[in-house]
Structure 1
Amino acid sequence: MALSNASINASYSIEYIISEAPDHPFFFQLYVNKNKESSELLLKRVWDLGVRVLFLTVDAPVPGKREADERVKAETSISTPMSGTSSSSDEKGSGLTRTLATYIDSGFELGRSGLAWAGKLVLKGLQSVEDVKLAAEHKVDGVVLSNHEGRNLDTSPPALLVLLELRKHFPEAFSEMEIYIDGGIRRGTDILKAYCLGATAVLLGRPFLCSLAYGEQGVERLIDILRDEVETGMRLLGVTNLAQLRPGLINTQDINPLLVHALDEPNEVRLLKSKI
């Protein structure tokens, strides 16, 4: 089943998006606003529209260095009605990213935010086992392992690698919360790999963005392609349902050397402060 996760940075209001598919069980993705009241009012609007699952983005307190944006040097301007911000290109050519993110609260802390949400809460953008443990301590309903498609922090670990580390260092997480991953999911076999390692579901963004070039038919065609690839892969693996997928069906030897060997490793070398 494919569900839509409407973002605060969408080009249309949440009311308009939901009105286009009123029977669809939407999720909502929030970046916390520096103005707490603005976030509270938006969450109330979302709740009144029937949304009951909130994805709280925690991996982008500031925009990353988007070199692709800098090379494009876009001259247009855009606005996002839900965040109430607009942006235009700056001298670096990355203004569409940097100025659009000026509303985000970079000092947000989950336990001290005071934001009220009575529905399910999923933290989006975790990149380490330690952060998943913190999420478990806060009793969240789920987490999204994600490096923001690699567009924020250079050399940050891919979600599939963190998923594998989670199986090694904190397997209890899979029975305590739902585990999602995103980033780099392009084929049905990518989805199967994630499920084999314990993911509850996967998130896709760019494939749907590209398919939208062909409108509704393009999106439907993408879903058909992914469904066919998943079903074909399952038949070739000899499984009849997703619950039968397991780690033993894939070979992770090539990436095992990249795993974190132990958590909270201390520095073995005492670093001296510069005195020169």
Structure 2
Amino acid sequence: MGQHLICPLTPQPAHTMTQPIVNLQDHEHAAQAALGDAAWAYFSGGAADEITLRHNVAAWQNLRLSPRVLQDLRGGHTRCNLLGREWPMPLLVAPMAYQRWAHAEGESGMALAAAAQGCGMVLSHQTSTPLHDVAAMVASDAERGPLWFQLYWLADRGALRDLLAQVEAAGFEALVLTVDAPVHGVRDRERRHGMPLPEGVKAVHWPASDPKNKPSTGLCGGLADAAPTWADVQWLIGQTRLPVLLKGITHPQDAVQAVKLGAAGVIVSNHGGRVLDTLPATAELLPRIVQAVRQHHPQALVVVDGGIRRGTDLFKALALGADAALIGRPALYGLAHAGARGAAHVLRLMRDELEATMALTGCAHIQDIGIDRLWSLESF
């Protein structure tokens, strides 16, 4: 295991917090103090009554660990294999839009933070920093994690092909197609405050003339008319040399259909509780999806996001069968109040806590983490 140096982050003078920042909740409080009301509502809010938003966090906390003692921990490490390559650890920063609204360093700062901690990054289609600039900063770093690009479906297939060409040329290693948000969720907090993006902050790769923006009759003012289908997924997979993962999978049958069509994997996600409220937590959804995918395509990736706030949560995700996990809001909160340094501290805390959990449960390697390390009545 790596040497544990879980150092507190000292808040910057402009912040009202005076206590050292030692966990992800501290980062959240510092971010709220640093961000304006509208930005805080956008980045922290969820859909409707925010039931799923809260439940995502609670579900991981409610799982109990079952340690084994006196295990041989010599030579332990967090390295993992994803899509045929070995990476430093099974954690990636989730795709999040408009990061320059949170902090001037934006996606560039986030990418540097992730690379510094051996974590991967999934760059959002709604990035406020050009994808080429982000990739150029970290693609050659041998110690970084995976570099993936998240995609929303564009009804203009010509524009989509152009974007795919840019993504491939920039050096991204996989595509993540978000499939659970054909329309916006009903987000009360965001509607109260609006979304006043600062001057110069915009989604730099989002086409203003996409047909999705043209109203018509139909659900949600016609926006649902442009929602992708399974046929579109199959077309997309055929248009790129990159592996494609589908993000927003909550049903086992959808997971199976995805891998049968040729997807390299699925991301079990309820969009962080931002799209449809009262969905189950991803910790609850994960086991059935893992089981379904493993039965039909054992080599396909299963990744999970939503509510991960501790290294123990990441450990539990791996114990339930996930190959890796994404972390979203906490990394954004670190960025918001302290730039790349704050985001890196969040990811370092996660890495250190994962290693501590592995050692304390008797797991020297990621491959040792299994369902037997979670407590249940059936275990005894």
Q: TM-score, normalised by structure 1?
A: 0.79
Alignment pair present for 1:35 and 2:156: yes
Alignment pair present for 1:228 and 2:352: yes
SS in 2 for 1:28: strand
- The aligned residue for residue 185 of structure 1 is 308
- The aligned residue for residue 256 of structure 2 is 133
Q: Distance between the aligned counterparts of 2:189 and 2:371, measured in 1?
A: 36
Task: Give the AA of the match of 2:374.
Answer: I
Q: Is the 8 A contact 2:135 2:172 kept in 1?
A: no
Task: Give the AA of the match of 2:138.
Answer: A
SS in 2 for 1:248: helix
Unaligned runs of 5+ in 2: 1-87, 89-118, 210-219
- The aligned residue for residue 334 of structure 2 is 211
Task: Give the AA of the match of 2:370.
Answer: R
Q: Is the 8 A contact 1:64 1:152 kept in 2?
A: yes
SS in 2 for 1:80: coil
- The aligned residue for residue 111 of structure 1 is 231
- The aligned residue for residue 137 of structure 2 is 20
Task: Give the AA of the match of 1:223.
Answer: L
Q: Distance between the aligned counterparts of 1:174 and 1:211, measured in 2?
A: 37
Identity %: 31
Q: Is the 8 A contact 2:135 2:171 kept in 1?
A: no
- The aligned residue for residue 168 of structure 2 is 47
- The aligned residue for residue 178 of structure 2 is 57
1:26 deviates by: 1.8
Change (3 A) 1:199 1:19: same
Task: Give the AA of the match of 1:193.
Answer: K
Task: Give the AA of the match of 2:360.
Answer: L
1:121 to 244, 251, 272: 244
Q: Deviations over 1:224-255 (max 9, x none)?
A: 211111111111111111111111211367xx
Change (3 A) 1:183 1:22: same
Q: Is the 8 A contact 1:31 1:56 kept in 2?
A: yes
Change (3 A) 1:105 1:242: farther
Unaligned runs of 5+ in 1: 87-97, 254-276
1:164-203 to 2 correspondences below 5 Å: 164-167=287-290, 171-172=294-295, 175-203=298-326
Q: Distance between the aligned counterparts of 2:192 and 2:269, measured in 1?
A: 25
Task: Give the AA of the match of 1:6.
Answer: L
SS in 2 for 1:144: strand
Q: Is the 8 A contact 1:148 1:183 kept in 2?
A: yes
- The aligned residue for residue 237 of structure 1 is 361
Alignment pair present for 1:247 and 2:247: no
Change (3 A) 1:21 1:169: closer
Q: Is the 8 A contact 1:6 1:27 kept in 2?
A: yes
Change (3 A) 1:28 1:105: farther
Q: Distance between the aligned counterparts of 2:293 and 2:241, measured in 1?
A: 27
Change (3 A) 1:179 1:48: same
CA RMSD in angstroms comes to 2.4
Q: Is the 8 A contact 2:304 2:325 kept in 1?
A: yes
Q: Deviations over 1:157-190 (max 9, x none)?
A: 2221111223555542571311000010111000
SS in 2 for 1:27: strand
